[in-house]
Amino acid sequence: MNKLTAFLLAFTALALPAHVCAAEPSKNDAPHPQKAFVNPKDDPDLLNVLIIGDSISIRYTTAVRKLLHGKADVFRPGANCMYSGHRAQSMKAWVANRKWDVIHFNFGIWDTHYLHNGKLIMPNNLSNYKEADLKRRYSHQQYIKNLEKVLKVVKRTKAKLIWASTTPFISYG
């Protein structure tokens, strides 16, 4: 299988409907698809796919592994990759030590969270606070700068890059 085919397979797999991603693994599944943070053993004959993202990507990692089983090894960092600032700092470590054919990444929803004195405020509690007392984890400008840092690192890998958009910015009120 050529790299373009693997890229398209990965892209298609990542566009799965939610009910497919939520399905329980069967007893016949290979061990690594059953848990998102348990990466496969490296098979040098397969393409290497890296999924970097927050809890949404954790949910679809096992489904992607199942769909690409025997075609690509699908890896992810061993934790929730959270917000763009964390990823900008951690990206070099996440892409190191392996040649990647495809890197799929998403983030942004954590960047839009409202904070009050550094504490996360859930959307259903926003009306309990004055808008002036809340701040976003990152402004649009900070988010863009973080994305630029991330892109600088992932572009150096020469992998095919797939950006998954995130949930839109939550507005106050």
**What is the pLDDT averaged over residues 30-39?**
66
Query: Which of 4-13, 14-23, 29-38, 111-120 is predicted most confidently?
Result: 111-120
Structure tokens at 168: 């839109």
- As given in the structure block, the two tokens for residue 43 are 């098979």
Least confident of 56-65, 66-75, 160-169: 160-169
Q: Which of 82-86, 102-106, 164-168 has the lowest mean pLDDT?
A: 164-168
Rg (CA), the chain: 18
d(CA 159, CA 17): 25
Q: For residues 77, 78, 84 and 85, what is the CA-based torsion angle, rounded to 10 degrees? A: -110
Extract the tokens encoding 127.
């009306």
| Local confidence band at 167 (pLDDT 50, 70, 90 cut-offs) | low
- Say what the pLDDT of residue 144 is: 84
Range with lowest mean pLDDT among 7-11, 24-28, 126-130? 24-28
Averaged pLDDT for residues 162-169: 69
- pLDDT at residue 152 tops 60: yes
pLDDT over 50 (residue 20): no
Task: Count, in order, helices (H) and strands (E) of the chain.
Answer: 5, 7
Instruction: Find out if CATH 3.40.30.10 is the number for domain 3-13+44-163.
Output: no
* Arithmetic mean of pLDDT, 53-71: 88
Q: For the chain, how are helix, strand and coil distributed in percent, rounded to 5?
A: 45, 15, 40
Query: Percentage of the chain with pLDDT > 90?
Result: 28
